Amino acid sequence: MQMSTFPCILLLCAISLVTCHQRLVAESRTNVELFIKEISKVMSNSDPSGRNHSTKVTIAPHPPLSNVDVWRLLLHLKSEEIKTLTLTVDETQPSTQTEFIFEGNLVDSDSIFLQAMRDSIVVATAFLSMEIRDLQSNVAWVGSNETSHISSLRIVASEKVGVVSAGEQNCSTHESPCYIISPPDPKPDLIKRCISFYFGAQRTVNLCDERVTNFLEISPSPSLYLQDDGNLKVSFTYSHNATEIEVVVYDPEDHTKVFSNSSYRCLVSVSRIFQEGEAVSCTHNITVPEGQTRMVVLIVRTDEKGYVYDSSRLLFEGNPSKPCRTGVIVGAVVGSLLGVGIIATLIIIIVLRKRMKKKKRTDTKRGMTTSYSKAPTSE
């Protein structure tokens, strides 16, 4: 119907501007039908983790709507409940706006209504019956904040979304989680994960997620220890917020050289209930070539919903020609924690594995070393 009235309005405009205005007002007095093109989860200023977020709705071009003061998004939940998000606008001119950001979470729902209101009367509506579910594709900046050249991206490409593109690089479901180590500038600014719903040949509606979790540093900083068996032991303090841990070990000179087992899993040795703030350690399988003097260790903790909670980027430095030399970590932090008073010093001992096997050293202070471990220094 609007399709035929719009040219008519234009024609009237040509005749008289006054008539045109009246026609526009009359037009929007009737309930205009709107068409949703895209619904997306976007970051909100209130929560840098992205768990709480905003909902962006994009609609198809529509006739100008005048004096709309409120936009409403009604989400029909599975439980038959209705969640309402509102957006107050201040429009003096007839508006053709097509993008709206509602503060509030896009919760799982089965249908949605978008309504434009004037003085509490609905003047335009879009309705969509479609299964809105979380795409389970989380993206986060890890190791450092987004603005830093040493920050990396962790991407989960769920089965629902398939391949996720981040700038020049792609992440597919079977590779997930993917780590894009220190992406070059310009950094990918929009990493959009979408699925499409088809409503006949002409209409497609995208359901998207654009959120990227901000960086949060693990505090206190974890400590690292290279074990006799070549596995890396990571010690940290337990947090209910961060239940899973991943470790990525790579060459700082060549980011394509990743020494980690491709699952990046760091296995917590003892399975029991940990207390908040308690010291915990996990082991991570790495294959480091002989002669590798420096390694970056990226430690990433995720929560039970798969969001990255916090992360740290630590640098190992050692000298393989002097096998038992003690390494140094850049950015060492000494922390006392949550009243528990654990002092974690970042001391790393890099020892040639061969030598270690020969010496069969037993070190009682592995992991949370509070001082240099006594590594053999003689030949």
Ligand X SMILES: *[C@@H]1O[C@H](CO)[C@@H](O)[C@H](O)[C@H]1NC(C)=O
In angstroms, what CA-CA distances link 282 with 45, 51, 265, 331?
34, 26, 9, 21
State which of positions 6-65 bind ligand X (CB under 6 A).
Answer: 47, 49, 51-52
Q: Which of 163, 330, 334, 343 binds ligand X (CB under 6 A)?
A: 163
Residue 349's nearest CA partner among 378, 316, 321, 379 is 316
DSSP helix/strand/coil, 345: coil
Q: What is the number of other CB atoms lying within 10 angstroms of the CB of residue 259? A: 20
Positions in 279-318 near ligand X (CB under 6 A): 285, 287
Site string for ligand X, 212-251 (x = CB under 6 A): -----------------x-x--------xx----------
User: Which tokens belong to 93?
Assistant: 């001119």
Whether residue 229 contacts residue 288, with contact meaning beta carbons closer than 8 Å, is answered with no
**Residues 322-351 contacting ligand X, CB under 6 A:** none
Which residues ranging from 164 to 203 are in contact with ligand X (CB under 6 A)? 165, 168, 170
Query: Are 233 and 225 a contacting pair, CB within 8 Å?
Result: yes
Least separation in angstroms between residue 216's CB and ligand X is 9
CB 151 within 8 A of CB 139: no
Rounded least distance, CB 240 to ligand X, Å: 5
Q: Within a 13 Å sphere around the CA of 6, how many CA atoms are in the beta-carbon half?
A: 9
Candidates 113-121, 192-200, 258-266, 339-347 — which segment interacts with ligand X by CB under 6 A? 258-266
Restricting to residues 129-148, name those near ligand X by CB under 6 A: 144-145, 147-148
Shortest distance, position 157 Cβ to ligand X, whole Å: 11
Contacting positions for ligand X (CB under 6 A): 47, 49, 51-52, 144-145, 147-148, 163, 165, 168, 170, 229, 231, 240-241, 261-263, 276, 285, 287
